[in-house]
Amino acid sequence: MAATMRAAADAGERFRFGVFEFDSRTGELRKYGVRIALQEKPGQVLRALLDRPGELVTREELCANLWSGATFVDFDHSINIAVSKIRQALGDSGANPRFIETVSRHGYRFLAPVRDAAAPDSPQKTMLAVMPFVNLSGDPEENYFSDGLTEEIITQLGRLDPKRLGVIARMTAMHYKTDTRRAEAIGKELAVDYILEGSIRRSADRVRITAQLIQVSDETHLWAETYDRKRADILDIQRNVTRRIARCLAVELLPEQRAILSRGATRNTAAHEAYLKGRYFWSRRTEDSFAKALAYFEQAIHEDPACALAYAGLADAYDTLGLFSAVPAAIARRRSTEAAMRALEIDPGLAEAHTALAYSKALYDWDWSGSEREFRAAIDLNANYVTAHQWYGHLLAMTGRFSEALARIDNALGLDPLSLVAASHKGWILYFAHRFEEAAQVLRRTLEMDANFGLGIYFLALTELAAGRPEEAIRIFESALRVSPDHPSVLSGLGQAHAAIGRNAEARGYLAKLEALGRERHVTPYFSACVHIRLGEFDRAMELLEKAFQERCPWMAYLNVEPAVDRLRPRLQALLRRVGFSSSATAP
């Protein structure tokens, strides 16, 4: 670690993260340029963590390098005090950390993206949060419109100048939908400089929208506007709000950036509303909501065949429906690719379309280099697009590049710190990395935000099973079954968990349920293969994995790192090469 610290010192000694800057030469910590008191030892610990963002810094390393000669008891007390003082200075929480994560009994990890403050190409970003626009229509059915407008403005602002303007993403913003606290409190919690608030009232063919931009530091209202227009004018209102905010924040709109404000959009009111409904349901992340999103994206395309964003949404819906085993992989692959390519024909600079194509290339084509190329293109176009960072993290995990994968997921969480999806996917990537205790910790913390979040429940159950706690896994899988009744992935998990404790009859019962379910809907053979592995029936498992390969099952993209197949790994090498992996990324 000492060598790592010396190398980092050569590269740069001033670090930026969020609204903070730390100068390791002087030990000064500043927020918005204002110095915050931090004692010498906590400053040394902070520097050690900033040297290796996203990585675990063990307690043993910290003791050896910063407390040389101290007894264990002295060190244990001192490190706890030092970390507590750092958290106090940063306004951080050990229970729900944004900056420093405690890895129980092991050490600490710095979560937020870290930049070299001295680098000329790394300017300090202005951070903005768009609060959910309040629906004043009195009709809960209109929530899709207010939520959709919120997401559209977030998206447009995020595209403007990603190197200078960071925009907190939708899922985090939605956590504040019913929050009545003042802008200063919310702004400090999110570590943003500005907040946009607004409301919507719709009646007949009219819409009334109010918006105001607030500076968090002193709650100054920099700009406020009320629009009373026809519903058909909604896109013009969005663009006007975005331009006014850009001017207030001194973001220069070059000609190409002005064009971005209408990127992928439609002037067809019916198509626009259908697209908003599609994104509203897609963001809910259940199989039923994906199916509803698909229908709305198709409706938007029917209303306006040139709506690039609707095609990108359609590609996203097929990518996720295929992964959920809701439609056969061959159909998901073809329709997702066709939709993403059509979006790019209409608008080659649409980050959403590059992201959807990248994910499809990873899930169904197993084209790792092509997928990475598309992800990089998406992030170059819009570094504030959370889904690009999140799914890019999955590609990196698929190929065993776990440090990069976790850094990418942390980028997503930096933009969307309260996202249940991004947080769950961080746990999932830790699971693929066989870091089960850390994965369980992340996933349990995610479920503290929403105990009924299906993805988090399922990933936690998988993690408990892989960690050697099958009874606990059964309990959690059963709760997942209540959220997603008879979903094949959960039935497979229950079969695996029962087999792990010798309840072979129960495991075969779940295999029978999967077979019966397959007569009603698509069920990939991959799920049954995992149960047969736990039963020790390796020949049958290989037969089913071959079928999964032939159908281009998206779960095969994770085969290189999936703990559920570890017992079969010595027999998987030829199949892994056919999927596109040169060798296994993990030890059996």
Q: What single-letter DSSP state applies at residue 485? A: T
Nearest alpha-carbon partner for 350 in 158, 175, 205, 494: 158
**How does residue 12 score in pLDDT terms, banded at 50, 70 and 90?**
low
The pLDDT value given to residue 248: 64
The pLDDT value given to residue 4: 40
The pLDDT value given to residue 252: 47
- The CA-to-CA distance between both ends of the chain, in Å, stands at 29
Give domain 279-381's CATH number out of 2.40.50.140, 1.10.3720.10, 1.10.645.10, 1.25.40.10: 1.25.40.10
The pLDDT value given to residue 388: 95
- Indicate the domain borders of the chain: 2-116, 126-262, 279-381, 384-467
Superfamily of domain 384-467: Tetratricopeptide repeat domain (1.25.40.10)
CB 261 within 8 A of CB 239: yes
Q: How far apart are CA 353 and CA 308, in angstroms?
A: 8
Express each pLDDT in 558-585 by its tens digit.
Answer: 999 999 999 999 999 999 999 999 755 5
pLDDT greater than 70 at residue 376: yes
Mean pLDDT of 375-386: 90
Which CATH number describes the domain made up of 126-262?
3.40.50.10610
CATH top-level class for 2-116?
mainly alpha
Q: What single-letter DSSP state applies at residue 123? A: P
Higher pLDDT, 11 or 259: 259
Whether 384-467 and 279-381 are alike in CATH topology: the answer is yes
Sheet with strand 34-36: strands edge to edge: 34-36, 28-31, 20-23, 14-17, 115-116
The pLDDT value given to residue 73: 57
Q: How far apart are CA 372 and CA 380, in angstroms?
A: 12
pLDDT greater than 50 at residue 526: yes
Mean pLDDT rounded to a whole number for the chain: 86
The pLDDT value given to residue 69: 64
